[in-house]
A and B are shown apart, each in its own frame.
Chain A
Amino acid sequence: MNQLLAIVALAVVGGAVVVVASRDTRTVLLALAVTLVATPLVADPLATPLGLAARLVGAILATYLLWVVARDRGMGESIASPTGGSRIGWPAEVLMAAGAAVVGYAAHGLGAPADGPALASAAGFAIAALAVAPVVTGHDVIRVGTGLLLLIDAALLVRGALGGTPGDVEQLVTAAMLIVLAGAVAALAANARADGSGGYVFSDPARGRVRREPDAHPLDQS
C-alpha cells in the first residue's frame, strides 16, 4: 500500500467527518475544502498537472463561493449562523466512516478488476456513508448542501477507484460541476439567510417529523 496515498485518503475522510460533525459553518467549509482539494490526489497514477490544476481550482472556487456566504454577517448577527451538525457526535461518525471504509476496501472493483486504487474505493464508501445523514435528515441549506457535495465527491472517488485516474477533460468537467453545485448551494444559503433571523434553516424544519405528546403523564390526568 502506498503510504502517502493512505495519508491523503485519511485526510479526505477526516475532512468529511468534520464537515458532518461540526456546527460551526466556517469550520465545516474549511474541512470541505480539505476534502475537495485532496480528493483528486487519491489516485494512482496521479492525474496530469493540468487535470490536477483544474480540480484544485474547482475545489477552491467551490468552497470560496460558500465561504462568501458564511463570512458575510447578516443584519444584527454577531456571529456566523450555525449549521445542524451531527446528532450522534463525531466519534460515532468516525466509527461509521471506518466501517464503510473497510467495506469499500474489501469490495474494491465490485466484482471485476479495477483500474484505480483500493484506497479510493475505501474513501469513497466512507464519505458516502457520512453524507447520508445530512442529505436525508438535514434541516438547513448548508448542512444538506455540504452533504450533497460530499455525496457527489464520494461518487467521484468510487469512479476513480473503478475506472482509474480520469483524463484532463473529465477533470475539467468535474471541476465545473463542483463549482456549479457549490454555487447553487451558496445562492440558496444566501437567500435563506437574508430572510429573517433563522440563518440557513429550512422554512418547514419540522416537516416529516412526528412530535409525540407527553404520554407518560397525560396532562388531563395530572
Chain B
Amino acid sequence: MSLLPFVLVTSVGAVLALLLRRNDRVATAISVVCLLGAAVTALAIKPGQSVVVGGAGIATTEYLRLFLVLGAIVGLLLAVVGQAVGSRRDAPAVTLGVLATSAMALSLPDARLAVLAATAGGGFGALVTLAPIGGRGGATVGTRVLRATVVAGTMAVAATAWIGRDLSDLAAQPVVFGLAYLAFALAVAIRFGAIPAHAWAARLTDTVPESTLPLVTAWAPAAFAIVALAWADASIAPLLVDLDAVRIVVLAIAIASIVLASVAALVQDDIEHIVGYAIIGDAGVVLLAIAALDPAAWAPARTWILAFVVARSAFAAWAAATRTVFFTGRVADLRGWAIRSPALGVVLALVVIASVGVPGLAAFDARGAIVGLAVEGPFALLVLLGTLSPLVYYGRLFLVGVGRPDERHAGGGSWRPVVSPLDLTDLRRWLSRTWSDNLAVTATGGAALLAVLALAVSSGAFGASAAAAGLPPTLDVSRESFAPEDPPPPIESDAPSAPPAAGDESPAP
C-alpha cells in the first residue's frame, strides 16, 4: 500500500518533533526532513490501490495524491518562511500532523471514520498556539480552536452515524435528513471559522504568526470539507427530499462569509487579519458547494479547494515576508511597500491572479460553476460579483503600496541577497551569518515560490481538474467515471453520482 510510507513519515515525524520540542533545533530539523520525506512519499502514492481490513479499509485516489503532494510542498515552504520570519517552533510538526490526518481522512471510504481522522487533524492544529513565553494567552486561544474542532467533529459524527445505517424502515419524517445535512454543513462552517462562527479564528489570527494561519484555518478544515462533500453527494443529494429550508441556512452562511469577510478584511489595520479574513471568504465558496447539494458541484468544489488552500498559503507567506522586510504589519505604515520592494509587489500580483483568477483559469471557472449550481436566477450574478470582492482589499493594499512612503517608516530590510565572502576556515559561522543577513530575501523567495505554485494550481496544472473530477476513495475501485446516464448510486454508497465537469477528463486510476 503506497500510502503507508507517507502516513508513517508524517505521523512519526509529528510525534517525534512534538516530543523533542524543548530542543528547538532538533525538532525543527526532524520536521523539515520529514516534510521532505513526506513530499517524496506523497509523489510515490499510486492511485487506485485499496486495502480491506475487517469490512473497512483505505483506498488511494489521484486527488489524495495531489492534495498530499501540494500539502507537503506548501508545508515545507511555509516552514522555511516561518524560520526566516520567526514563526512558532511547533508549526512544522503541526504541519506533519495535519498531513497525516488528512491522508487518513481522504483515504477512508467510510465517512464515519473519515470525520474522526479529520477531527484529529484539528486537534493537531490547536498546537500552533503553543508559545514558549506567555503561554497562557496561546493556551486560551488554542483551547478555543480545539473547542471549535471537537464541536464540529461531534456534529459530523452524529450526522454520519444517523445516515450510515439501514434506513429502509424509516419512521421519522424525511426532514430529519435535512437536519443531518445541516449538522454536517454547520460543522464545516465552524471548522473554517465561517461567519458567524468566526470568533475563534479571529482570536487565532491575533495570536499566531501569519505563516501558520493557513494550517489551522485552511488545510486542516479542507480535508474535513472534502469528506463532507463526498458524504453529502452520496447520502443526501440522491434523496428526493425537499431540503430548501436547510439549504437556505447554509447558503446564507456561505454568502455572509464571502461578502462580510471581504468587508472585514478591507477595514483591518494589520495584514495578518487581512489574511485571516481572506481565508474565511474563500471558505465561503466551499460552503456554497456544500449548499448546492448537486453532484455536479463535486469536481469544481474540489478544484476550488486545492486552489484556495495553496493561494491562501501564498498570501500568508507574502504577509510574513512583508512584515519581515518592513518590520511592521500595519497597513498604514506600509505606504510605498511595492515601490521599495518590487519583488513583493510581483508576489502579491501572482497571489491576486491565483486567488481571484481570470476567465479560463480552472479555479475561476470552478468558482463560477459552484455559484451557478448553488444559486439560481439574477441572485447568482450578485453572488458571483461578491466572490470578486477580494479585489477591493487587494486594491487597497496595492494603493498603499504605490503611495508615497512615509519618512518615519521609510526603513525596512533589504530584499536583495547579501552574501559575504566565503570563509572556509569557519564555514558554520559563514552559513549562520549568510542566513541571518538574508532573512527577508528567504521569506520573499519562499513567498514567491508559493505564489507561482498557487498560480499553477489555480490554472489547473498537475492534473488538478481531472483529479478533482475523480471518484472519492472506494474499496472496489471503478475504472469508469460517472456518465450523465448512469443511475444514481444507492444511499449507502460513498461514490457521488457527479458527472465530471465539461471538458474534464475522466480519471482512470
Contacts and interface: CB of A to CB of B under 8 A. Distances in A.
Interface of A: 48, 109-115, 128, 135, 141, 144-145, 148-149, 151-152, 154-156, 158-159, 162-164, 166-170, 173-174, 176-177, 180-181, 183-185, 187-189, 191-192, 194-196, 198, 200-204
A202 B136 contact: yes
26 contacts: A111-B170, A112-B165, A112-B166, A112-B169, A113-B166, A114-B165, A115-B166, A151-B151, A152-B119, A163-B161, A167-B56, A168-B53, A169-B53, A180-B123, A180-B124, A181-B119, A181-B150, A183-B123, A184-B126, A184-B146, A187-B127, A188-B143, A191-B142, A194-B135, A195-B136, A201-B136
A191 B135 contact: yes
Given A169-B54, A170-B116, A181-B120, A155 B140 contact: no
A125 to B, nearest CB: 11
Contact of B117 (A144, A145, A177, A184): A177
Contacts of A144: 143, 146-147
A173 B57 CA distance: 11
A114 B136 CA distance: 44
Contacts of A154: 154
B172 A112 contact: yes
Contacts of B142: 184, 188, 191
How many B residues touch the partner, as a band? 35 or more
Tell me the dominant secondary structure on chain A's binding face.
Answer: helix
Given A173-B117, A188-B143, A155 B165 contact: no
Contact of B165 (A135, A149, A162): A162
Nearest to A153: B154
A187 B145 CA distance: 13
Contacts of B146: 144-145, 148, 181, 184-185, 188
Nearest to A191: B135
A180 B120 CA distance: 6
Nearest to B177: A111
A177 to B, nearest CB: 4
A57 to B, nearest CB: 15
Interface string B83-100: 000000000000001000
B135 A151 contact: no
Contacts of A114: 165
Given A110-B172, A141-B140, A152-B153, 8 more contacts: A155-B157, A166-B112, A167-B54, A173-B113, A184-B124, A184-B127, A188-B143, A191-B142
A117 B480 CA distance: 40
Nearest to A124: B158
A181 B143 contact: no
B55 interface: yes
B235 interface: no
Contacts of A196: 136
A180 B14 CA distance: 11
A144 B172 CA distance: 34
